[in-house]
Amino acid sequence: MYNTPESASSKQPTLTLREAFAQTEYILPGHSDRNIHVLQQAFADIDGDLSSDQYGRGQVIEDFQKQMADVLGKESAVFFPTGTMAQQIALRIWCDRQNSPKVAYHPLCHLEIHEEDGLKELHHIQSILLADQDRLITLADVQQMDQDIACLLLELPQREIGGQLPPYSELQAISEYCRKQGISIHLDGARLFEILPFYQKTAAEVCALFDSVYISFYKGIGGIAGAILAGPSDFTAESKVWKRRHGGDLISLYPYILSSKYYYEQRVGNMEQYYQEAVQLAQWMNKCTAIHTLPEVPVSNMFHIHFELPKEQIEPILIEMCQATGVGIVQYLTDKKEGAHCSTELVIGARYEHVPQDRIQKALAWLDQRLKEVTTV
């Protein structure tokens, strides 16, 4: 049974939003809890006598690198423990080859806002920020740069603005322009596989527009950790040297490699399903009072939910929702526009198909009614 909005509203929340979310019967986003079961499941059928990799060599790592190079349509690939390391190294190589310390990317690029200026402090590379932070980079932005750069980085999808994507024709035009200008072009493809259903392209077709590409195995794939950096053979050979310099050449990386391979093969074929489920959920959410999604129609399995009320008003309601309906949609909120409203990110994964559709719709109906009460006061 569901509590009515009236009875639920009379209760004072005793849990944080994250705690209330975790205790629900049904959780909508993600694949699973990030606990030891993720590793145990991946290793359940692995032969215990399988030899591990050692310092980047061995069948375990070499076979997986070859597999990913083929998937991405590149000559070679290198497995890295982190994407942060892989991308800084990629940009360093392109800058050294172009004899220029400048790269261009979006103002909300991961390297700019989440890495403590690692690119600048460790490699002395300057970032040129293209476009306004609330929109995508366009061909015109690239053409109108008033500084020469060694490399352009594009993130697909652009996570911090809801996972938006440019038209594929725009990508093609940017790639062609960069190559004519002698500018290297790198793909932050942390969520590459998630965008393929929208573009109706293979990973290799998208990656053909770029000189190098990084993909993640813990984001949409749901592994433990790990990344691939792919490109020409001489590029990846140089990246291995930098990997050693960064301390990323661990004696063995097989726990990350084997789990990455396991979850990649388990989930990469489900990206179309996750995408369609995100589109349906966003449609339902956009019918709720004081809520809109960005994008309005998702272009991958990711979108942002914007609440047109301050965090301090929305958070207690969402805690009530978890307790009243048993459905967890949101586990955190971020203030926007000086606290005038708030938002969160939602990524559809393996969990979603196990949630009864009527439970989702009833939970959203509860939320809509509760928000109507608040906004009409």
Residue 368 parent element (H or E): helix 357-375
Q: pTM score > 0.85 for this model? A: yes
Show pLDDT as tens, one digit a residue, over the chain (377 residues).
344 444 444 455 589 999 999 999 999 999 999 899 999 999 999 999 999 999 999 999 999 999 999 999 999 999 999 999 999 999 999 999 999 999 999 999 999 999 999 999 999 999 999 999 999 999 999 999 989 999 999 999 999 999 999 999 999 999 999 999 999 999 999 999 999 999 999 999 999 999 999 999 999 999 999 999 999 999 999 999 999 999 999 999 999 999 999 999 999 999 999 999 999 999 999 999 999 999 999 999 999 999 999 999 999 999 999 999 999 999 999 998 777 899 999 999 999 999 999 999 999 999 999 999 999 86
Phi then psi for 177, rounded to 5 degrees?
-65, -45
Helix ranges (DSSP H) in 216-310: 233-245, 254-267, 271-285
Q: Is 59 left (phi over 0), alpha (psi -120 to 50) or beta?
A: alpha
∠ CA(275), CA(276), CA(281), 5° rounding?
100
* DSSP string for residues in 174-185: HHHHHHHHT-EE
pLDDT at 338: 79
For residue range 90-99, what is the model confidence (pLDDT) as tens digits? 999 999 999 9
pLDDT at 336: 87
